[in-house]
Chain A
Amino acid sequence: MESTQSKPGPLCNPEGSQRTLYPYVTGTSVVALKYKDGILMAADMGGSYGSTLRYKSVERMKPIGKHSLLGASGEISDFQELLRYLDELVLYDNMWDDGNSLGPKEVHNYLTRVMYNRRNKFNPLWNSLVLGGVKNGQKYLGMVSMIGVNFEDNHVATGFGNHLARPILRDEWHENLTFEEAVKLLEKCMRVLLYRDRSAVNKLQIAKITEEGVTISQPYSLKTFWGFSAFENPTLGAEGSW
């Protein structure tokens, strides 16, 4: 094996501190938007292992407390660990038994602190997180990256979603979308991701959070469209091209 006397790498320290080098099992984009009654979030159920689409039933969105919904892309083991931290956070909050409960703003802030502090130790949780929720009629939708960058917006996406879904959302999102319009819009984004993101799998869930609570849909698949004459005969008039 390698010698223990290798010259120090750029970010090594003599005590052999831990730092996450790269992710193993990863989830791809999460897309979310605000609509009339709350937040809608979509994510596929894929867990990729490098270029292999290894796991196809990974739930990448989970409810947090009564008022929030967390979606994650990136390393699944780090997401699972985050869920444990949040479990503990919510438990302690409930133990106060004071009628108060953690809202999405608070959860988002907590996540930001966790992610940023890990980044400062050069041992990040390799995730991009989307946190959405409704409390006391106030809708909230925010994002945190693995280096601790955080912001809120009317629509957010992680990974490829930033490049493919956000432009669609910038064009077609407006205040007070109905549930139906919002679902159709999200599905439009997810379909584009399915066509163009190599790590996407055709099995997704859409989650809804409103004042009433969280619902995560059963897994389902989207229809795709291939019936274009240009697809059937792409090299017409240009043999050898693609």
Chain B
Amino acid sequence: MDQSIQNDLNAPHSMGTTIIGVTYNGGVVLGADSRTSTGVYVANRASDKITQLTDNVYLCRSGSAADSQIVSDYVRHFLHQHTIQLGHPATVKVAANLIRLFSYNNKNMLQTGLIIGGWDKYEGGKIYGVPLGGTILEQPFAIGGSGSTYLYGFFDQEWKEGMTKEEAEQLVVKAVSLAIARDGASGGVVRTVIINSEGVTRNYYPGDALPLWHEELEPQNSLLDILSSSSSGPDMMIS
């Protein structure tokens, strides 16, 4: 507890993860990496950070794994009850506001940044960001987690309104993969969830299927393959 008082007042806590939510012309695309770390150890290299709240609303979780899980569990429970009472699917706004309520009222204890994305028939595809502290902000796109720091410039340049579903998903995959390249706390696979009037589609992009960036090399099975395929004989020594 004393440590947090000694923290530089302006430095936000770093959070493992890269999470993204973007709206497109017809719905939303949510994306995340799959690394859960405890300090420097990767506790889970294939986690699923995009959790379902209702049929039409999903949540991207970042920060403390425990805190984000418990908030999502509570909200899923209350949303379920709300849906029964209402008689038809809950709206994205209601889901986002419930998340906000938990985040805000427990701000001293929770350390989780969340992105809510979904589709409802009243407002279409919507993305809401709920960062640390419990602020709620409706945005055309949202990024979160420690990996997101590397993406502000990317999105400033690449974001445009009214993308197609394919463009939006490609943008998300590219962005998460760029963040994974530079953020030690992000890694593994890229998972995406597309939500629109037709329903929900989950996609899986394994780590070896992602594009390569600066200073990254094409993965090989073994050095032996490189040596045997190089035509001018073994090039092992650099003198």
Using a CB–CB distance below 8 Å, which chain A residues touch chain B?
A: 2, 6, 9, 12, 18-25, 47, 49-52, 54-55, 57-58, 75-77, 80-81
Known: A12-B1, A21-B5, A50-B11. A80 touches B136 (CB 8 A): yes
- Cα distance, A18 to B135, chains bound together (Å): 18
- Cα distance, A52 to B1, chains bound together (Å): 25
Known: A2-B1, A50-B11. A20 touches B108 (CB 8 A): yes
Contact string, B1-41, partner A, CB cutoff 8 A, digits 1/0? 11111010111100000000000000000000000000000
Tell me if B133 and A24 are in contact (CB < 8 A). yes
Contacts of A80 in B (CB 8 A): 100, 104, 135-136
- Does B117 belong to the interface (CB within 8 Å)? no
- Cα distance, A9 to B108, chains bound together (Å): 15
Q: Which 4 A-B pairs have the closest CB atoms?
A: A24-B133, A77-B135, A77-B134, A76-B135
CB distance from B157 to the nearest CB of A (A): 15
Contacts of A23 in B (CB 8 A): 133
Tell me if B149 and A24 are in contact (CB < 8 A). no
Contacts of A54 in B (CB 8 A): 131, 152
- Cα distance, A20 to B132, chains bound together (Å): 12
Tell me if A51 and B133 are in contact (CB < 8 A). no
> Could you say which of B1, B12, B129, B152 contacts A24, with CB atoms under 8 Å apart?
B12
- Cα distance, A52 to B144, chains bound together (Å): 13
Tell me if A6 and B1 are in contact (CB < 8 A). yes
Tell me if B108 and A24 are in contact (CB < 8 A). no
Using a CB–CB distance below 8 Å, which chain B residues touch chain A?
A: 1-5, 7, 9-12, 100, 103-104, 107-108, 129, 131-137, 139, 149, 152
**Known pairs A49-B131, A50-B12, A80-B100. 16 more at Cβ < 8 A?**
A2-B1, A6-B2, A9-B2, A9-B5, A18-B108, A21-B5, A24-B133, A25-B131, A25-B135, A47-B137, A50-B11, A55-B139, A75-B135, A76-B137, A77-B100, A80-B135
- Name A's interface SS: loop
CB distance from A60 to the nearest CB of B (A): 12
Tell me if A49 and B137 are in contact (CB < 8 A). no
CB distance from A228 to the nearest CB of B (A): 28
Tell me if B4 and A21 are in contact (CB < 8 A). yes
Tell me if A24 and B2 are in contact (CB < 8 A). no
Contacts of A9 in B (CB 8 A): 1-2, 5
Contacts of A6 in B (CB 8 A): 1-2
| Nearest neighbor of A58 in chain B, beta-carbon distance | B137
**Could you name 18 residue pairs across A and B whose Cβ atoms are closer than 8 Å?**
A2-B1, A9-B5, A18-B108, A22-B9, A24-B131, A24-B133, A47-B137, A49-B12, A50-B11, A51-B10, A51-B11, A54-B152, A57-B139, A58-B137, A76-B135, A76-B137, A77-B100, A77-B133
Contacts of A51 in B (CB 8 A): 10-11
Most buried by B among A2, A24, A57: A24
Tell me if B108 and A47 are in contact (CB < 8 A). no
Tell me if A47 and B12 are in contact (CB < 8 A). no
Contacts of B4 in A (CB 8 A): 21
Contacts of A50 in B (CB 8 A): 10-12
